[in-house]
């Protein structure tokens, strides 16, 4: 099978996928004969930077292009020689292989002084220009600033931050974007039609999704599929050569979480382990799907604008799942899987995922809730004390009713009970809650004000928050979520009293206790400053 990205490389602006904002600008400059003398094409790999540079080189040297037009004819001798790569007027230089200042002097500076042999301009396309050495950039700087009128520079890079600002300032900068899955599918469909091969749309969408917006990667993967030699290719045939993915299993796992089916989720986890699935890759798929649901909840159509497209078949199932997945539950699952992806592998590979899915299936805050959780992910602070499993007094683990609205005074009256209950599970957590000021409970949201950031972060720790929310549900009689805020001016001298089972306070000292963090620690654990 021939190399597809070479055989089907665009030869006109109209054939280039995406980058419409760049094509229009370049075409207008060509049509008005106001072309610049140095361009900087930057952006991700395999999105058409070098292709655009070649088409631009053809357009400026096309023998048949008339004034007011921008497209090269593709048929004249100049266009054909540039296409074949043997034009004397177009030099493509790989900066990764020619990094030194001598290469720049010999290949660029000396050649730029020569007049074009056949075309109108000498075009220098320097690919991966960020690989040039500092001395090479300095040598290139002067000629880019004041090039001969017959010279055009096109610099291409994937790492714009490595290009000196002096070079950037002397070029017209064009930022390329990744290509959408929809456009990639159209291109692959065209190639399949040209090759006279019938192929499933699901396969095309799978290839587009795996390429992650890089057209050359998509064409390379598609070439492997076509190399099977069949005239009709479906999903089963394509799976023989395409990298494995587990979108169906990921969707199934999320469905189990939504339905609180911990047994089925654990069973699926072990099936993945038996099949040798990489849990790292599987977590990435879970996170990507949850991100899709989160963005859909934030604003319909936002995920598609950001290029997050799973293809027609999967999109339908994900949309159906999003209708059943409350935003608070989605955010908790997203945070939990992100946290899991950063952990070290366990001795039992599937155990961390088993723990995560059981937590997500059984914890109370996965019940249907109407109050969205904050979109920002707080910094996680690990607790040194183990958290005990949480059960309500009537031995139920899920409370679905929303907590009633209470003003700040009513919340304060019940706060000592919260401190007593929370102490059973985590002693230090009770101390942390003494150093906050509870506010009103409204619409299922309890607001807590903290003076110190480390106290607030402790409450929002992934291992602590389930205990907090379950205990609060017991005390206040219904499902609720926590909203936290920082107030450096918060006065904590008159903290709420603890009923029945108070947290021990530090013994009185002859000297006034210190303020700030040290004072809080002494108040909790006793002792005095010396």
Task: Say how far apart CA 403 and CA 472 lie, in whole Å.
Answer: 9
Positive or negative, the Cα torsion across 423, 428, 430, 431?
A: positive
Chain-centre distance of CA 415, in angstroms?
40
Mean pLDDT over each residue of the chain, to the nearest integer = 81
Residue 505: its pLDDT value, please?
39
Phi, psi dihedral angles at 381 (to 5 degrees)? -115, 115
Residue 530, Cβ density class (10 Å: 0-12 exposed, 13-18 middle, ≥19 buried): exposed
Residues 204-256: pLDDT tens digits? 988 988 888 889 999 999 999 998 888 899 888 888 888 777 888 899 999 99
Give the pLDDT confidence score for residue 391 in this predicted structure. Answer: 40
How far is Cα 373 from Cα 364, in angstroms, rounded to an integer? Answer: 14
Residue-level pLDDT at 383: 37
Query: Looking at residues 62-70, what average pLDDT do you find?
Result: 91
Contact 443, 521 (CB under 8 A): no
* Interval 294-324: pLDDT, tens: 988 888 777 777 767 676 667 788 888 888 8
Dihedral over Cα of 506, 510, 513, 518: its sign: negative
User: Among 76-85, 184-193, 416-425, where is mean pLDDT lowest?
Assistant: 416-425
Decide the pairing of beta strands 172-175 and 151-157.
Answer: unpaired
- In tens, the pLDDT along 339-359 reads 998 888 888 889 999 999 998
More confident position, 509 or 7: 7
Retrieve residue 165's tokens: 């600002």
Cβ–Cβ under 8 Å, residues 174 and 42: yes
Q: 358, 367, 359: which is closest to 263 by C-alpha?
A: 358
| Interior/surface letters 37-46, b for 16+ CB within 10 angstroms, e for the rest | bbbbbbbeeb
What pLDDT score was predicted for residue 522? Answer: 54
pLDDT reported for residue 387:
38
pLDDT at 453: 79
What's residue 37's pLDDT?
93
Q: How confident is the model at residue 529 (pLDDT cuts 50, 70, 90)?
A: low
Instruction: Determine the 3-state secondary structure of 332 from DSSP.
Output: helix
For residue 452, is pLDDT > 90?
Answer: no
User: With 60 as the cut, is the pLDDT of residue 367 above it?
Assistant: no
pTM of the entire predicted model = 0.60
Directed axis angle between helix 327-341 and helix 351-362, to 10°? Answer: 160
* Strand ranges in 218-340 using DSSP code E only, listed in sequence order: 232-233
* Token representation of residue 405: 């609205």
**H-run or E-run covering 501:** none
Average pLDDT of span 19-35: 93
pLDDT band at residue 373, thresholds of 50, 70 and 90? very low
List, in sequence order, the alpha helices (H) in 407-515: 408-425, 427-434, 453-459, 465-476
Q: Spell out the domains of the chain, with CATH numbers in brackets.
A: 4-175 (3.40.50.300), 181-238 (1.10.8.60), 247-362 (1.20.272.10), 408-523 (3.30.300.180)
SS3 (DSSP) at 474 = helix
Q: Does 89 have pLDDT greater than 50? A: yes
Query: What pLDDT shows up at residue 311?
Result: 66
Q: Which of 220-224, 363-367, 496-500, 512-516 has the highest mean pLDDT?
A: 220-224
Q: Which of 82-96, 358-372, 383-397, 436-450 has the lowest mean pLDDT?
A: 383-397
Task: Label residue 102 by pLDDT band (50, 70, 90).
Answer: very high
Q: Is the dihedral of CA 70, 73, 74, 79 positive or negative?
A: negative
Quote the pLDDT of residue 364. Answer: 43
pLDDT at 474: 84
Return the higher-pLDDT residue of 414 and 427.
414
* Average pLDDT value for residue range 461-481: 80
Burial code (b: 16+ CB inside 10 Å, e: under 16) for 414-451 equals: bbbbbbbbbbebbebbbbbbbbbbbbebbebbbbbbbb
How much is the pLDDT for 4? 84
State residue 436 phi and psi, 5-degree precision: -140, 165
Among 33-47, 61-75, 318-332, the minimum mean pLDDT is found in: 318-332
Half-sphere exposure of 194 (CA within 13 A, CB side): 9
> What confidence category does residue 520 fall into, taking pLDDT thresholds of 50, 70 and 90?
low
Mean of pLDDT values over 488-498 = 59
């Amino acid at each position: 099978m021939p190399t597809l990205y070479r055989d089907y490389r665009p030869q006109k602006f109209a054939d280039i996928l995406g980058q419409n904002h760049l094509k229009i600008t370049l075409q207008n400059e060509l049509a008005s004969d106001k072309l610049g003398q140095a361009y900087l094409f930057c952006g991700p790999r395999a999105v058409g930077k070098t292709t655009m540079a070649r088409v631009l080189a053809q357009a400026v040297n096309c023998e048949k292009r008339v004034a007011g037009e921008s497209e090269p004819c593709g048929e004249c001798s100049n266009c054909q020689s540039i296409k074949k790569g043997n034009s004397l007027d177009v030099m493509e230089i790989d900066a990764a292989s020619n990094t030194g200042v001598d290469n720049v002097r010999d290949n660029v500076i000396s050649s730029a002084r020569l007049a074009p042999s056949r075309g109108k301009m000498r075009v220098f396309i320097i690919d991966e220009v960020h690989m040039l050495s500092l001395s090479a950039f300095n040598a290139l700087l002067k000629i880019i600033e004041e090039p001969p009128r017959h010279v055009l520079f096109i610099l291409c890079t994937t790492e714009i931050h490595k290009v000196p600002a002096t070079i950037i300032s002397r070029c017209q900068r064009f930022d390329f974007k990744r290509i959408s899955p929809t456009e990639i599918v159209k291109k692959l469909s065209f190639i399949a039609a040209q090759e006279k091969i019938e192929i499933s749309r699901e396969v095309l969408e799978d290839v587009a999704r795996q390429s992650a917006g890089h057209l050359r990667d998509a064409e390379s993967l598609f070439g492997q599929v076509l190399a099977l030699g069949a005239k009709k290719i479906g999903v089963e045939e394509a799976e023989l050569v395409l990298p494995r993915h587990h979108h169906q299993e990921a969707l199934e796992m999320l469905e189990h979480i939504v339905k609180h089916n911990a047994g089925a989720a654990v069973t699926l986890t072990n099936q993945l382990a038996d099949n040798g699935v990489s849990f790292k890759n599987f977590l990435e798929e879970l996170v990507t799907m949850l991100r899709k649901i989160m963005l859909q909840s934030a604003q319909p159509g936002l995920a598609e604008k950001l290029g997050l497209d799973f293809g027609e078949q999967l999109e339908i199932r994900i949309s159906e799942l999003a209708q059943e997945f409350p935003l608070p539950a989605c955010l908790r699952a997203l945070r939990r899987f992100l946290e899991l992806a950063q952990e070290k592998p366990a001795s039992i590979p599937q155990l961390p995922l088993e723990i995560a899915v059981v937590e997500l299936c059984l914890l109370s805050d996965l019940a249907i809730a109407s109050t969205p959780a904050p979109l920002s992910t707080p910094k996680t602070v690990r607790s040194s004390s183990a958290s005990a499993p949480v059960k309500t007094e009537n031995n139920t683990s899920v409370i679905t009713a929303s907590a009633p609205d209470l003003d700040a005074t009513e919340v304060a009256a019940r706060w000592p009970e919260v401190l007593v209950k929370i102490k059973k599970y985590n002693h230090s957590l009770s101390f942390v809650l003494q150093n906050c000021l509870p506010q009103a409970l409204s619409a299922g949201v309890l607001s807590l004000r903290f003076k110190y950031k480390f106290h607030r972060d402790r409450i929002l720790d992934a291992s602590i928050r389930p205990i907090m929310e379950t205990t609060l549900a017991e005390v206040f009689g219904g499902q609720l979520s926590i909203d936290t805020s920082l107030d450096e001016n918060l006065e904590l001298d008159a903290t709420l009293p603890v009923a029945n089972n108070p947290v021990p306070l530090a013994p009185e000292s002859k000297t006034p206790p210190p303020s700030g963090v040290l004072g809080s620690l002494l108040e909790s654990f006793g002792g005095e400053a010396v």
